[in-house]
Amino acid sequence: MKNSIGNFLYRFLRYFVQFYFFLKYKIKVYNRHKLPKLRGGYIIACNHQKYSDPPAITAVARGRFSFMAKAELFQKNVFFTLLIRACGAFPVVRGGGDNAAIDRSVSDLKKGRIFVIFPEGTRSKDGKIGKAKSGVALIAGMANAPVLPVCIMYGLGGNKKNLDFAVGDIIPAEELKIGENGDRKELKRISGRIMDGIKELQRQIYEERGVEIISE
């Protein structure tokens, strides 16, 4: 009974999120055919611009999601907390260590969820894509999960309602394996490869929009 109610609530809120985002924005999806047929068990790695990025992803992609969100977001109001939990969010306390969050992420992936992560670790205020932290490489390696690079851009082409969503080529889990020691150099290499995929998608969006790309 509890699972049935949870599934109904998830579907209802998912349709609500889709309706809201396609009403609020003019969403243009590039390379939609590259969205995996998999229902879960993979990672979506995306640049980070707004708090609305996670629900925007869930409005375009299909499946059950999981993503980290800072604990403060769960204290905004009851409806917002219900919404982000339904989208798959779980709270992370800043400065509280990463082990519990990483373990939860790996567990959710192994349960067949799509884990959404923003490798930069913070929002970009100017649209530039920064360097990735090691978390995305570590989680991908521990879960033996492939990574799908995604890029989101808002307001290009002089219209604030424009939301561009580009999908890249999925990176197989075999190419993201880390050694037993998981040294920093190896994690940095894997994280860099994922970010290169996101940057390439950003270039595609800018070219399609005829806008000069922001220098890195």
Tell me the domain boundaries of the chain: 2-209
Amino acid 6: pLDDT:
61
**214 has pLDDT over 80:** no
- Local confidence band at 215 (pLDDT 50, 70, 90 cut-offs): low
| Cα distance between the two ends of the chain | 51
Amino acid 85: pLDDT:
76
Cα distance between residue 156 and residue 46, in whole Å: 18
**pTM across the whole model:** 0.89
Amino acid 97: pLDDT:
57
Top-confidence range, 21-25, 114-118, 127-131:
114-118
Q: Which CATH class is domain 2-209?
A: alpha beta
Interval 162-203: pLDDT, tens: 999 999 999 999 999 886 666 788 888 899 999 999 999 999
Interval 21-54: pLDDT, tens: 889 999 999 999 999 988 789 999 999 998 889 8
Q: Whole-number mean pLDDT of the chain?
A: 86
- Local confidence band at 14 (pLDDT 50, 70, 90 cut-offs): confident
When mean pLDDT is compared across 117-121, 123-127, 135-139, the lowest value belongs to: 123-127
**213 has pLDDT over 60:** yes
Amino acid 54: pLDDT:
87
